[in-house]
Amino acid sequence: MSARRFDGRVAFVTGAARGLGEAIAAAFVEAGACVVLADVDPAVGATAGRIDPGGTRTLALPLDVRDEAAFSAAFDDAVARFGAVDVMVNDAAITAGGSPWTLSLDAWDTVMAVNLRGTFVGCRIAGAHLRARGRGRIVNLSSFAGLHPSRASGLHYAASKAGVLALTRGFAMELAPHGVTVNAVAPSAIEGPQLDAIDAARRDALLAQVPVGRFGRADEVAAAVLWLASDAAGYVTGETIELNGGRAMR
């Protein structure tokens, strides 16, 4: 497969300021795409400058995915800049833990609004655009927790990521007749800001659960996203790729 297989295509990536979103955006740029990096974090501009120093193939936009009007305006800005969008990647999310017995309803609502509602809005806005074009790809970021909830992840986070999988299948059914595929990636134990935030003892305990004996890398998640977004994955829709180092096999 050509290393420049996304030449002439445009990807819109939410949550792109850091972590997996940054890695995904960088991988698309390396593969030849123009990329819209959207994030509520003001650092998204610096991220765009880092992965595309010339500034010719990226557009950094401030975006709170909970705000449908702002999301729609950002998408319109992307189309105005690059002519169209070919790939939508819904990565923006809040990672949250905590006991269900002490969880506040405000915390529940915030996680659901960003992780689930934000993904729904992204799928609907991009889906309408791609449906009208008669082709395209949507890739949603779920999580191991959405498939295998545990006490280590908050129930609100797990529920939101399980909901992302339901949205993925639902939009896949809606858009399949229009040449648009919708799939999900569910990573687990990936090196980056989330793992950096936990102490050494918890890291060691988590690593002991991973049969391959190491944590995953952000570029491995990005590679799965790019494959689902490529022409090679045109017969795959409504599916979830798990990247968990063998923590769950089926």
Residues marked active site are found at 157
Structure-token match 């090679």, residue found: 232
Quote the tokens at residue 22.
């940054």
Residues 202, 191: Cα–Cα separation, whole Å: 14
Q: Tell me the pairing of strands 34-39 and 58-62.
A: parallel
CA-to-CA distance for 143 and 148, rounded, in angstroms? Answer: 9
The token pair that represents 121 in the structure block:
């809005």
Cα angle for residues 43, 47, 52 (degrees, 5° grid): 150
Residue 40 Cα to chain centre, angstroms: 15
92 to 8, 115, 124, 137, 230: CA distances (angstroms)? 25, 7, 15, 17, 21
Element (H, E) at 57: none
- Give, to the nearest 10 degrees, the angle between helix 118-133 and helix 155-175: 10
